Amino acid sequence: MSKPGDLLTLTDRGLYCAPADLYIDPWRPVDRALITHAHSDHARWGMGHYLAHRDSLPVLRLRLGQDISAEGVAYGESRLVNGVRISFHPAGHIIGSAQIRLEYRGEVWVVSGDYKTEGDGLSPAFVPVRCHTFITESTFGLPVYRWRPQAAVMGEINAWWAANAAEGRASLLAAYSLGKAQRILKHLDPVIGPIFTHGAIAQTHAALRAAGIELPPEQVVIAQGPDQHRKADFRQALILAPPGAIDSAWSRRLQPFSLGIASGWMRLRGARRRRAADRGFVLSDHADWDGLNDAIRATGAQRVLVTHGYTDLFARWLRSQGLEADVLQTRFEGDEDESS
């Protein structure tokens, strides 16, 4: 929904800022891309140059190649490109995630990418940025989605693990490898038993640690090759794995285990059973209903453009609240259920 004079317009390559001649999270190759965060639907291959928060760079390089042309900035640092002032601000979604603020001739737009409003103790918490136009996601933009505090959910996860360990059964927990896995690792209670990760998660963590980002220690369950861990090793353990690794030869080596899934979708009745999990933990790196509404209100924006998620319903809700709201058809996805 573009209007004449808009600072950002929707093109077939992505969100385009004409005065600065650059794109935000483009889905087709362009010369210059600003990247909100390293999830694959926002950070794609083939851009001439990437500008992102510096903590996004390790994963961008891991996923897109060490030879990409990429530059990192700090939160709050600003750049001037053809009269457009560009700055990155904490989005609280995953390590390195940023909202991108654009200011041109007194007009301010903020592209939030993906965000959550609860601080996760891992990266700086979401900061509302005042603007005229706010572009928001709506992955969990229905009133049914209300999260409990992280401490309560982590308490449940640790208690589930301790109960399994007491019965000599491994705790296999499915969690998205970029975001959820670091967040859970950070808040596990290592007194309960050893902590292992699947190779895909360990690889992400190695890249983050190499860039100086601190994460608690973990052991790695090697994906292939000689099994270096005796089976009994896993009976007291919690093992973090991407959802795609759950029903595989890799996971069968961990038996006997209890399977848990950590995802915002676990809020839906039946989601746990459909995934054949023993336990579902409602934990998301996206804002819940209240988080979305609080964040939007705090920007002071009169105009809100809604991307991926319950776009139509959420835009209609915002209009009923007196805002000028429209759907923006992007190619972003709710990454909560990606298999990697």
Interface with Zn ion by CB under 5 A: which residues? 39, 114, 332, 335
Closest CB 260 distance from Zn ion, rounded Å: 22
Cis status, amide bond into 226, omega within 30 of 0:
no
10 touches 329 (CB < 8 A): yes
Question: Strands, DSSP E only, in the chain?
Answer: 9-10, 15-17, 22-24, 32-35, 49-53, 70-73, 78-81, 84-90, 98-104, 107-111, 133-138, 170-174, 195-198, 219-221, 238-241, 257-262, 279-281, 303-309, 324-327
| Cα angle, residue 65 at apex, residues 61 and 68 outer, rounded to 5° | 80
- Strand order of the β-sheet with 257-262 is 219-221, 195-198, 238-241, 170-174, 257-262, 279-281
Q: Which is nearer to Zn ion, 265 or 332 (CB)?
A: 332
Smaller CB distance to Zn ion: residue 43 or 173? 43
Shortest reach from residue 41's CB to Zn ion, in Å: 5
CB of residue 47 vs Zn ion: minimum separation in angstroms?
17
Give min distance, CB of 162 to Zn ion, in A.
31
Select 55 or 114, whichever has its Cβ closest to Zn ion: 114
Could you tell me if 57 and 211 are in contact, meaning their C-beta atoms sit under 8 angstroms apart? yes
**Cα–Cα dist 287/90, whole Å:** 14
Q: Which one, 91 or 259, has the nearer CB to Zn ion?
A: 91
Q: What DSSP state is assigned to residue 41?
A: T
Q: Which CB, 44 or 169, lies closer to Zn ion?
A: 44
Q: How far is the CB of 155 from Zn ion (least distance, A)?
A: 25
Surface-to-core class of residue 113, CB atoms within 10 Å of its CB (0-12 exposed, 13-18 middle, 19+ buried): buried
- 34 or 254: CB nearest Zn ion: 34
* CB-nearer residue toward Zn ion: 107 or 337: 337
Q: How far is the CB of 233 from Zn ion (least distance, A)?
A: 33
CB 331 to Zn ion: min, Å:
10
